[in-house]
Amino acid sequence: MDVVTALGADLDGAFPGVVETYQDSLYRFALRLSGNSQDAEETAQEAFVRAYRWLKSHQASLADLALKPWLYQVTLNVFRNGVRRPRPPTASLDDARELAGDGRVEPPAVAERTESRAELARVLAGLPRRYREAVVLRHVEELSYTEMAAVLERPEGTIKSDVHRGLGLLRAALAPAREEMLA
Amino acid sequence: MTETELIRELSGLRDVQAPRSIRAGALLGAGLADAYFPLDAPIGRVYVAHGERGLSAVAYAASAKVFERTFRAETGRVAVRQDPSERLAQTLQEWLRGDRRHKLRFDLRALGEFRQAVLFKALEIPYGQTRPYSWIAREIGRPNAVRAVGTALARNPVPLFIPCHRVVRSDGRLGQYSLIGPEAKKVVLEAEGVQLDQLEELAQTGIRYFGSDTTRIFCFPTCRCNKSLTERHRVSFASESQARTAGYRPCKVCRPAAA
């Protein structure tokens, strides 16, 4: 029995398994979008709770649900609407470029394995949202373009060009910081 | 940096694990899990679980892992470790001291009607007092179900807070207890100030009730009416019929017999 059928048959019994399966993905997705582990935690948690409530009220008609992209979409919506806690606005790309390589502005408690990874995460989180979402879904979460079209509700062609443009912006933002690090 | 290098670096950002709190928060938020924490009670450390509907489990366990497993097996829900709010921690301690000024709710939804009735009736027994099993049976309208009352109390999922320990045998023996066994029941009752040796002695000499020759009311020996009763005015009875024949009526507080 696949997961969606199991959810339809016994939501309460099957949902904890969904949390186990997707918690790393949804947390990571929220972390790479926000660049902040606390926001990511709240976003992922809230996404699961909303997903459960929606499933509960649509339990009879889950047959066509594509679970994975749908969970990403729920997480994305929670992220876009912002977690309840008030917080300073996300740094713009300019700030990210300016601050890249400055250890003091590293978001709280995101322990990255290397300095270059921390820097990449920081710059990524400062990318304009449209491109950030596309790049994260494609190259961090490694979703297919079909899945991405379901998450973002945009045509695949548009998404491909957003990913391409996002990568370009990232490279441009990273280059000067990298030179500085080598100097 | 080439685009290929950048894409390789981006896939390095996959190396992330969700903190444990996400699963806990998600399941609690969905109402599929109860939170639990260890609590120091008069008889040692117990685990207490609670959800939106109230306290759902109080149990001894060798470890937190064992408690989680047992809880899941018995309720079908997940138990996730989360410290109680300050208010809940305080209310629990108050209850353990017999102070019920703040309400506690209990989640007994998995239990049948009979077990619920037995447990909610036990909840009415005041701190430091005891009642016989037959009292519960009569009070819930099932006077012949004394044995089933015993079983329901022995399977109380929330001992200490629903005071099944206050229900004892009318022959003065304690009877079974859901937390560990009779020895723990003794400790809990003594911690509440119940004079067990006196109760046992009364039972052995055949005394079931005390009456007051001024009010002509008879009570269970631990009823609060007897606190102010001096020996000079105290009358002992072996049975309800003996008391009634002597012209005594049952106390309306501890209700030792049907009115």
Average pLDDT estimate for B130-141 = 96
Tell whether A40 and A115 lie within a shared domain.
no
Tell whether A167 and A102 lie within a shared domain.
yes
For chain A, give me the number of helices (H) and strands (E)? 9, 0
Q: What is the pLDDT of residues B227-249, one digit of tens each?
A: 888 889 999 999 999 999 999 99
Instruction: Supply the CATH number for residue A136's domain.
Output: 1.10.10.10
CB contact under 8 A, A28 and B10: no
B206-259 is a CATH 3.40.10.10 domain: yes
pTM: 0.74
Residues in chain B within 8 Å Cβ distance of A45: 21-22, 25-26, 29
Q: Is B94 exposed, middle or buried (0-12, 13-18, 19+ CB in 10 A)?
A: middle
CB atoms within 10 A of CB B154: 15
Residues in chain B within 8 Å Cβ distance of A141: 14
Question: Which are the catalytic amino acids of B?
Answer: 164
CA angle A52, A53, A55 (to 5 degrees): 65
Tell whether A83 and A103 lie within a shared domain.
no
Q: Is A182 exposed, middle or buried (0-12, 13-18, 19+ CB in 10 A)?
A: exposed
Instruction: Supply the CATH number for residue A38's domain.
Output: 1.10.1740.10
Tell whether A120 and A38 lie within a shared domain.
no
B76 vs A47, which has greater pLDDT? A47
Tell whether A172 and A121 lie within a shared domain.
yes
Nearest to A23 among B7, B23, B78 (CB): B23
Burial B189-207 (b: 16+ CB within 10 A, else e): bebbebeeeebeebbeeee
DSSP conformational letter for B54? E
Range of the domain at A22: 1-87
Residues in chain A within 8 Å Cβ distance of B76: 12-13
Q: What is the pLDDT of residues B215-227, one digit of tens each?
A: 999 999 999 988 8
Grade residue A83 by pLDDT with cuts at 50, 70 and 90: low
Q: Which of A87, A118, A149 is the last residue of a domain?
A: A87
Tell whether A57 and A131 lie within a shared domain.
no
Question: In chain B, which among 168-207 make CB contacts under 8 A with chain A?
Answer: none
Mutate to test the interface with B, among A11, A15, A19 (most CBs of B within 10 A): A19
| Interchain CB contacts (distance < 8 Å): A and B | 97
A121: distance to nearest CA of chain B, Å?
7
Tokens at B10, concatenated: 């981006």
B82: distance to nearest CA of chain A, Å?
15
Q: Please state, rounded to an integer, the average pLDDT across all residues of chain B.
A: 92
Q: Which of A58, A87, A116 is the last residue of a domain?
A: A87
Tell whether A83 and A96 lie within a shared domain.
no
Domain total in chain A: 2
Task: Name every residue in A having a CB less than 8 A away from some CB of B.
Answer: 12-13, 15-16, 19-20, 23-24, 26-28, 31-32, 37, 41, 44-46, 48-49, 52-53, 113, 116-117, 120-121, 124, 135, 139-142, 167, 170-171, 174-175, 178
Tell whether A42 and A124 lie within a shared domain.
no
Tell whether A117 and A179 lie within a shared domain.
yes
Domain boundaries, chain B: 32-96, 110-194, 206-259
Q: What is the pLDDT of residues B86-132, one digit of tens each?
A: 999 999 999 999 999 999 999 998 899 999 999 999 999 999 999 99
Q: What is the pLDDT of residue A89?
A: 46
CATH number of B32-96: 3.30.160.70
Tell whether A81 and A101 lie within a shared domain.
no
Q: What is the pLDDT of residue B229?
A: 86
Tell whether A79 and A104 lie within a shared domain.
no
Contact criterion met (CB below 8 Å) for A89 and A126: no
A70 vs B180, which has greater pLDDT? A70
Tell whether A119 and A76 lie within a shared domain.
no
pLDDT at A133 over 90: yes
CATH number of B110-194: 1.10.10.10
